[in-house]
């Protein structure tokens, strides 16, 4: 059934497959309606949070935030591809952390491509940096990745504490990528970037930046007074939406579409299906593999297990399966799962072997892109990144306390 959820026949939204699967597991009694309802109640705030962040990112794009990032990167790095790569690292890490990995993959990557083409630089290192950082730089905040939001709900950590514990692992994962990528793509970066950037107005979208900063402050403030930080995300999205609607630069329908309702429904259905799979024996089978405790060895093993599962199926089902098993060992173990499931997908093109194989079989005929280079880069960054990030997490747990 997990494989079923991974397939996307004929380009239909995944929810089309996942909702009947969820209905089926409830109908066959694999999950009781009561348990399914409890799961839905548990997931609802997470899904609301996710929707608010998706809308916020889309509105930031509408307001020109990503175009402004492109102009900024072009101006600061003219003629120097290595400098451009550093700017891409800074931008992609910040965008991923604050507006989630979806924003980096969907909205930032095309801007980075255009910027690099405009400077006459070879685009490959910069595009690969975006796709890698969308995963490995998604450790910092609960909003950076849907896996984080799910773990955040399960860990019981407050928003600022989550960020404080994950700050060092986030930096460690980015540093690992930054050590590897410039060397891996040395020939492309040495080719230079001889073209002058086009003169563009340099205006920064101040309103958007202030709103996003206020939203971040809102996350911390909401946690301090015991309110779900999702409300801060909703407020930030509402401010940008109201302004864009008042200035007639977007429509309510476009905003509704950016909330990706079918995706939200899919996550809900996936939660129910995974519950059935875990109850149906996978939980018992995996339980002995999940180490108890938060010693360095246990954290490393937990992260490795997360990375393996993320590469076999996908990190979303992987985190749903592992969270209930890791949560009893405390927040440290939950965060170690995140290190594994967030960095791990860089190892396989399309995030999992299952997705890759099914897409190959069902959709794409002919030769796909060469996987050799992608996989070699993944082998250089993923195991090292996970080890370094877990070390950083272990240190953070000792300094700050789990």
Partner 1 sequence: MTDEPVPPTTASASPVPAAPAAGNRTVIVWVAEGTWRGCVDAARALAPAGAAIVLLHVSPEEVPGAAHGAYAGLLGRGHPERDPGPRLAELAAASAGELLAAAAQRLGRPCTRAERRGRVEREVVAAAAEADLLILARDGDRSRLGPKSLGRADRFVVDHAPCPVLLVWPDDAPGTDTIPPPPPRPPNHRPHRR
Q: Which of these ranges, 1-9, 157-165, 199-207, 246-254, lies near partner 1 under the rule CB under 8 A?
A: 1-9
* Calpha distance 366→36 (Å, rounded): 41
DSSP reduced 3-state for 189: helix
Residues in 17-76 at the binding interface with partner 1, rule: CB under 8 A: 18
Regarding 306 and contact with partner 1 (CB under 8 A), the answer is: no
Regarding 395 and contact with partner 1 (CB under 8 A), the answer is: no
In the complex, minimum distance from the CB of residue 1 to partner 1, in angstroms, rounded to a whole number: 14
DSSP reduced 3-state for 354: helix
Q: Please answer whether residues 381 and 346 qualify as being in contact, where contact means their C-beta atoms are separated by less than 8 angstroms.
A: yes
Q: Which of these ranges, 119-127, 208-216, 242-250, 282-290, lies near partner 1 under the rule CB under 8 A?
A: 119-127
Regarding 130 and contact with partner 1 (CB under 8 A), the answer is: yes
Regarding 260 and contact with partner 1 (CB under 8 A), the answer is: yes
In the complex, minimum distance from the CB of residue 11 to partner 1, in angstroms, rounded to a whole number: 5
Regarding 219 and contact with partner 1 (CB under 8 A), the answer is: no
* Calpha distance 109→114 (Å, rounded): 9
Select the residue interacting with partner 1 from 30, 134, 181, 336 (CB under 8 A). Answer: 134
- Residue (105 or 164) nearer to partner 1, CB: 105
- Residue (136 or 294) nearer to partner 1, CB: 136
Q: Please answer whether residues 267 and 349 qualify as being in contact, where contact means their C-beta atoms are separated by less than 8 angstroms.
A: no
Write out the DSSP string of 305-353: HHHHHHHHS-HHHHHHHHHHHHGGG-HHHHHHHHHHHHHGGGGSTTSSH
In the complex, minimum distance from the CB of residue 194 to partner 1, in angstroms, rounded to a whole number: 6
Select the residue interacting with partner 1 from 82, 330, 373, 384 (CB under 8 A). Answer: 373
Nearest to 105 by CA among 94, 115, 97, 96: 96
Rounded to 10 degrees, the C-alpha dihedral 101/106/107/112 comes to: 90
Q: Please answer whether residues 241 and 56 qualify as being in contact, where contact means their C-beta atoms are separated by less than 8 angstroms.
A: no
In the complex, minimum distance from the CB of residue 368 to partner 1, in angstroms, rounded to a whole number: 7
Regarding 124 and contact with partner 1 (CB under 8 A), the answer is: yes
DSSP reduced 3-state for 202: coil
- Residue (159 or 185) nearer to partner 1, CB: 185
Regarding 312 and contact with partner 1 (CB under 8 A), the answer is: no
Query: How many residues in the shown chain lie near partner 1 by CB under 8 A?
Result: 60
- Residue (77 or 223) nearer to partner 1, CB: 77
* Calpha distance 323→314 (Å, rounded): 14
- Residue (11 or 226) nearer to partner 1, CB: 11
In the complex, minimum distance from the CB of residue 42 to partner 1, in angstroms, rounded to a whole number: 18
- Residue (128 or 159) nearer to partner 1, CB: 128
Count of Cβ atoms closer than 10 Å to residue 136 Cβ: 29
* Calpha distance 146→319 (Å, rounded): 10
In the complex, minimum distance from the CB of residue 7 to partner 1, in angstroms, rounded to a whole number: 11
Write out the DSSP string of 91-121: HHHHHHHHH-HHIIIIIIHHHHHHHHHHTT-
Regarding 106 and contact with partner 1 (CB under 8 A), the answer is: yes
Count of Cβ atoms closer than 10 Å to residue 166 Cβ: 28
Can you give the binding site for partner 1, defined by CB under 8 A? 5-6, 8, 11-15, 18, 81, 101-102, 105-106, 109-110, 113-114, 117, 120-124, 127-128, 130-131, 134-135, 186-188, 190-194, 260, 262-263, 266-267, 270, 314-317, 345, 349-352, 355, 359, 368-370, 373-374
């Amino acid at each position: 059934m997990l494989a079923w959820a991974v397939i996307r026949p004929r380009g239909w939204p995944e929810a089309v497959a996942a909702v009947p699967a969820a209905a089926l597991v409830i109908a066959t009694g694999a999950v009781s309606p009561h348990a399914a309802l409890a799961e839905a109640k548990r997931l609802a705030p997470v899904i609301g949070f996710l929707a608010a962040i998706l809308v916020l990112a889309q509105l930031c794009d509408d307001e020109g935030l990503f175009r402004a990032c492109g102009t900024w990167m072009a101006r600061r790095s003219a003629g120097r591809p290595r400098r451009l790569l550093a700017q891409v690292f800074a931008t992609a890490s910040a965008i991923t952390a604050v507006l989630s990995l979806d924003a980096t993959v969907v909205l930032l990557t095309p801007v980075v491509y255009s910027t690099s083409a405009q400077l006459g630089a070879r685009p490959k290192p910069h595009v690969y940096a975006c796709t890698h950082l969308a995963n490995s730089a998604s450790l910092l905040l609960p909003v950076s990745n849907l896996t984080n939001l799910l773990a955040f709900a399960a860990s019981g950590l407050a928003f600022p504490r989550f960020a404080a514990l994950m700050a060092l692992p986030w930096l460690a994962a980015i540093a690992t990528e930054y050590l590897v990528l410039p060397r891996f793509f040395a020939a492309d970066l040495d080719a230079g970037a001889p073209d002058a950037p086009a003169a563009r107005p340099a205006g920064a979208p101040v309103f958007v930046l202030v709103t996003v900063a206020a939203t971040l402050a809102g996350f911390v403030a909401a946690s301090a007074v015991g309110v779900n930080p999702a409300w801060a995300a909703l407020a930030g999205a509402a401010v940008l939406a109201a302004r864009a609607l008042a200035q007639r630069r977007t429509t309510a329908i476009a905003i509704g579409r950016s909330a990706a309702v079918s995706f939200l429904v899919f996550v809900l259905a996936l939660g129910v299906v995974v519950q059935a799979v875990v109850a149906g024996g996978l939980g018992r089978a995996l339980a002995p593999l999940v180490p108890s405790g938060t010693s360095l060895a246990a954290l490393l093993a937990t992260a490795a297990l997360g990375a393996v599962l993320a590469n076999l199926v996908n990190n979303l089902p992987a985190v749903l399966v592992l969270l209930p098993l890791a949560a009893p060992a405390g927040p440290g173990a939950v965060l170690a799962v995140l290190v594994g499931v967030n960095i791990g997908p860089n190892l396989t093109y399309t995030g999992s072997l299952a997705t890759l194989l099914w897409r190959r079989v069902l959709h794409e005929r002919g030769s796909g892109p060469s996987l050799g280079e992608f996989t070699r880069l993944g082998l250089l960054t993923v195991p090292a990144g996970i080890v370094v990030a877990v070390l950083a997490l272990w240190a953070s747990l000792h300094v700050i306390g789990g």
